[in-house]
Amino acid sequence: MYPKKLCPKKLIARVLNSTIPGLLLGSLFLVPNAFSGESVSYRIGGSTFEGYFAGADEAKGLVLIMHDWDGLTPYEEQRADMLASLGYDAFAVDLFGAGVRPTTVTDKRQHTGELYKDRKKMRQLMQGALEKARSLSSSPGQAVAMGYCFGGAAVLEFARSGETLEGFASFHGGLSTPDGQNYANTKGKVLVYHGTADSAISMQQFAELAVQLETEAVNHEMTTYSAAPHGFTVFGSSRYQKRADEQSWSSFTDFLAATFAP
């Protein structure tokens, strides 16, 4: 966890020695000069969860971040800090439970599989996290949800639930719609950022979602990035693609600026 105050030189040194390997210098301009991030314990349905809240001075709005299948990690915390630096309160949600941060593929599949099989629980966990985030935020009125990979699929689940948010953004997330579900109750804009070279989520699923959103008159914007694989935003990984990451982040933050404009 980052301290609340760091001078710029110490900040850069801390970032370069962070637990996220290979962080590119090109992304440093997005990292704030002062951190306010902290772990937050909260309870839903008798279970304890541990999220991460990064507060901005005079926040313009609230952003929820849904994690990948390895649980809430420093990656989502860094994204929250980046959003706070741009003037938004950000809450990185915990969908697995305090202390549950799977490291093996088997465990990751187990925890995501449990939520995929229990969509009602998945929605309840996101709703509970949203309530907690709003209780912490200085600007709780308008809110947007975003997510990566599994978190991107969760965000689309949240959109289908009819939750009243300004937007739902999925970054290289699962795009298929479960049987019996649709986007008829979706309130906010849906944004999808996808890699054309994604071998996990096909372009056919991308196209099917586009048709569904258009048919159901959902305000949406969907973008694919050439040669970008699954997980193209993950700093330091072999799948990271700088161009796709920076362009999708720029598009998303432009959306936030327009959505939360005074």
Q: Along the 262 residues of the chain, how does pLDDT read in single tens digits? A: 323 333 332 333 333 333 333 333 334 334 444 556 999 999 999 999 999 999 998 899 999 999 999 999 999 999 999 999 999 999 999 999 999 999 999 999 999 999 999 999 999 999 999 999 999 999 888 999 999 999 999 999 999 999 999 999 999 999 999 999 999 999 999 999 999 999 999 999 999 999 999 999 999 999 999 999 999 999 999 999 999 999 999 999 999 999 998 8
**Cα 92 from chain centroid?**
7
| Position 133 in a domain | yes
Is residue 86 domain-resident?
A: yes
Domain membership flag for residue 3: no
What would the two tokens of residue 198 be?
């994604």
pLDDT for the residue 49: 98
Report how far apart, in Å, the C-alpha atoms of 9 and of each of 3, 121, 164 are: 14, 44, 41
Q: What is the DSSP letter of 56?
A: P
Task: Give residue 262's pLDDT.
Answer: 81
Distance CA 197, CA 203 (A): 9
pLDDT of residue 63: 98
Domains: count for the chain: 1
Q: Could you give the CA distance from residue 71 to residue 132 in angstroms, rounded to a whole number?
A: 18
Task: Return the CATH number at 158.
Answer: 3.40.50.1820
Q: Flag whether 2 is in a domain.
A: no
Indicate the SS3 state at residue 194.
Answer: strand
Residue 42, domain member (yes or no):
yes
Helices 105-117 and 150-161, packing angle to 10 deg: 10
- Measured CA to CA, the distance from residue 221 to residue 186 in angstroms comes to 14
> In whole angstroms, what is the distance from residue 184 CA to residue 161 CA?
9
Residue 112 included in any domain: yes
- Domain with 233 in it: 8-259
- Position 139 scores a pLDDT of 87
Q: Is residue 182 part of a domain?
A: yes
Q: Which amino acid is at 202?
A: S
* Within a domain: 1: no
CB 94 within 8 A of CB 53: no
How crowded is residue 4: how many other Cβ atoms within 10 Å of its Cβ?
A: 11
How many residues would you count in the chain? 262
Q: Find the distance separating the first CA and the last CA of the chain, reported in whole Å.
A: 31
* Structure-block tokens of residue 118: 């229990």
Report the 10 Å Cβ neighbour count for 41: 11
Query: Cα–Cα distance between 173 and 252 in angstroms, integer?
Result: 15
Write down the pLDDT at residue 35. 54
**Coil, helix or strand for 146?**
strand
Listed in order, strand segments (DSSP E) in 55-129 are: 62-66, 89-92
Sign of the four-CA dihedral 16, 101, 5, 31: positive
pLDDT at position 71? 96
Place of tokens 């965000």: 155
